[in-house]
Amino acid sequence: MVTRRVGNSASHTSKVVLDNTGPAITGIAPGHRALVRGKTIRTTVYANDGSGIRDAYLHGAYSVSKGPYTINASAGPDGLRTLTWAVTDRLGNTSRMSRTVVVDNTRPTLKLTKAPKNGAKVRGTVKITASSCSSTARSSPKTSRPDTPSRSTPRSTARR
């Protein structure tokens, strides 16, 4: 309240909102331990904030899109790759979130472990056993560990 010497007064009330919390990051795509292939990874962060989002960065690269925020990042060599997003609101508060993906651009090797010799003449059903191995973890729910050979027994019937 302000009062002048002659007795006149005036008052004004203002509402002030204190925001010292970073934006809420609600998700990152691709998902955790997702299998990605190719030279680039298209990644997106989903975030919101009451004061608005000023910018979103992935490893120093700025996203020019307006929410959700997307960047094409270099995939790098085969193996685990951590994507770390930083999202800043209009008041300068920053939140970070990371996601680890699996980069796999190498084809698995296949080895016949049991089969007729080359050029052998066969009749009826022939059992062939093969094993395959990939040096990178796979995203298949059937594979529980990386570098674990998988065995399959394809069947083939020889006909004359």
Do the Cβ atoms of 27 and 45 come closer than 8 Å?
Answer: yes
CATH 2.60.40.10 fits 24-103, yes or no: yes
pTM: 0.65
User: What tens digit of pLDDT does each residue of 3-22 get?
Assistant: 677 777 778 888 887 889 99
**Domain edges within the chain:** 24-103, 109-158
Q: Read off the pLDDT of residues 80-128 as tens digits, 9 standing for 90 and up.
A: 999 999 999 999 999 999 999 999 999 888 888 888 888 888 888 988 8
Which residues have CB under 8 Å from 14's CB, separation 6+? none
45 Cβ contact list (under 8 Å, min separation 6): 25, 27, 28, 56, 58, 63, 68, 69, 85, 87, 97
Which uninterrupted H or E stretch holds 145?
none
